[in-house]
């Protein structure tokens, strides 16, 4: 039986690559991409695409009926840095869209939901090294608050209504295909673009700010593996800790210098430094590794090599 999948917010950094991967697994015709606009033309032209506002329950429901959807990946959100500029917009979008999808699943209009959480659920009172799955969570950003509350609701809908909802606390995601959309870890993507264009980069975080990060290929693999795991293996229904690597701006600069010796980095921390300071520097994801066999592949030098070679070929 073929699975019909709808991705909401598919034009973004993660949604776009998730769409391509799911189409390669489940078939082009079985994966419908949607977003608020046509901004990501490569994605729009790559297969079936619908305009959907994640705030609009009726249009999501109509699209599910039209395409016989059984699984939704909800990737639309306002991220950490943008959320601090527009707190109420972030609250409205991040919460309302989640309720719409959970309620569709509760009403049995769809069978399965993926909703991403984030390391932003943690806060300054959380242990920063090897942050455990279950620990103190007092997020200080509006984005982190929406993700923490969202996790509680996911678990609630699973426990009370039997909704099959699955979630990962993504770390900062690094990728070359689609630019990131306003997060605190965006520097780790911008730095590669600038290294190629100008051989220098002014970083908005300070040199020793360590944050948990992951290469896109690993993040997509984790998402696909979690969603295809047997339901009984998915023991955590709030959201799983997920870890790849951790590094500082100084360490990523050193990794780039191995490939581009002239590369120079300078530091001018802005408001995003406070956000980064409130997050863990590394994550303990033992539960994901044990419950559904998660393993990451890319280390920092592996990411650097892949990023630089792909960005160079893209600009040719």
Which residues of the chain form contacts with ligand NAD (CB under 6 A)? 8-9, 11-15, 35-37, 52-55, 75-77, 79, 93, 116, 118, 170, 172-173, 180-183, 185
Structure tokens at 23: 């189409």
Residues in contact with 48: Cβ distance below 8 Å, sequence separation at least 6, in sequence order: 29, 31, 32, 33, 67
In the bound complex, what is the minimum distance in angstroms from residue 10's beta carbon to ligand NAD? 7
**CA-wise closest residue to 57 among 2, 21, 106:** 106
In the bound complex, what is the minimum distance in angstroms from residue 251's beta carbon to ligand NAD? 18
Q: What is the CA radius of gyration of the chain?
A: 19
In the bound complex, what is the minimum distance in angstroms from residue 174's beta carbon to ligand NAD? 8
Q: Which residue is nearest to ligand NAD (CB)?
A: 12
Cβ proximity to ligand NAD: between 123 and 182 the closer is 182
Cβ pair 59, 43 in contact under 8 A: no
In the bound complex, what is the minimum distance in angstroms from residue 35's beta carbon to ligand NAD? 5
Residues in contact with 281: Cβ distance below 8 Å, sequence separation at least 6, in sequence order: 128, 129, 210, 211, 212, 246
In the bound complex, what is the minimum distance in angstroms from residue 279's beta carbon to ligand NAD? 11
Cβ proximity to ligand NAD: between 30 and 116 the closer is 116
Cβ proximity to ligand NAD: between 61 and 200 the closer is 61
Cβ proximity to ligand NAD: between 182 and 280 the closer is 182
Cβ proximity to ligand NAD: between 39 and 208 the closer is 39
Cβ pair 201, 195 in contact under 8 A: yes
φ, ψ (nearest 5 deg) of residue 214: -155, 145
Q: Any catalytic annotation for residue 26?
A: no
Q: Of 73, 143, 170, 187, which is the active-site residue?
A: 143
In the bound complex, what is the minimum distance in angstroms from residue 177's beta carbon to ligand NAD? 11
Cβ pair 13, 173 in contact under 8 A: yes
Cβ proximity to ligand NAD: between 92 and 264 the closer is 92
Question: Which segments of the chain does DSSP mark as H helices, in order?
Answer: 13-26, 41-44, 57-67, 80-85, 87-106, 142-161, 187-197, 216-228, 249-259, 272-277, 286-292, 300-315
81-117 core/surface letters (b: 16 or more CB in 10 A; e: else):
bbbbeeeeebbebbeebbebbbbbbeeebbebbbbbb
Provide the terminal-to-terminal Cα distance of the chain, rounded to the nearest Å. 42
**Chain centroid offset of residue 139 CA:** 17
What amino acid positions are annotated as catalytic residues?
143
């Amino acid at each position: 039986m073929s699975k019909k999948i709808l991705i909401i917010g598919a034009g973004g950094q993660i949604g776009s690559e998730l769409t391509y991967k799911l189409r390669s697994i489940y078939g082009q015709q079985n994966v419908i991409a949607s977003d608020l606009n046509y901004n990501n033309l490569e994605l729009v032209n790559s297969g079936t695409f619908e305009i959907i506002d994640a705030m609009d329950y009726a249009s999501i429901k109509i699209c599910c009926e039209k395409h016989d959807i059984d699984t939704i990946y909800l990737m639309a959100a306002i991220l950490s840095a943008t959320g601090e500029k527009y707190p109420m917009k972030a609250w409205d979008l991040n919460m309302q869209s989640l309720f719409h999808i959970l309620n569709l699943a509760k009403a049995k209009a769809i069978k399965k939901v993926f909703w991403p959480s984030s390391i932003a659920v943690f806060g300054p009172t959380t242990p920063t090294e090897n942050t455990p799955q279950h620990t103190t969570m007092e997020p200080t950003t509006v984005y982190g608050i929406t993700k923490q509350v969202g996790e509680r609701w996911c678990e609630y809908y699973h426990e009370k209504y039997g909704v099959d909802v699955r979630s990962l606390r993504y770390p900062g995601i690094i990728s070359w295909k689609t630019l990131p959309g306003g997060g605190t870890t965006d520097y780790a993507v911008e730095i590669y673009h600038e290294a190629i264009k100008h051989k220098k980069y002014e970083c908005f975080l300070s040199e020793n700010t360590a944050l948990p990060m992951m290469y896109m290929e690993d993040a997509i693999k984790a998402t696909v593996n979690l969603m295809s795991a047997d339901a009984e293996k998915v023991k955590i229904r709030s959201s799983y800790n997920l870890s790849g690597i951790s590094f500082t701006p100084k360490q990523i600069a050193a990794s780039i210098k191995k490939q581009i010796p002239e590369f120079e980095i300078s530091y001018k921390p802005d408001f995003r430094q406070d956000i980064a300071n409130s997050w863990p520097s590394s994550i303990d994801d033992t539960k994901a590794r044990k419950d559904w066999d998660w393993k990451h592949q890319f280390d920092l030098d592996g990411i650097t090599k892949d990023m630089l070679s792909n960005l160079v070929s893209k600009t040719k």
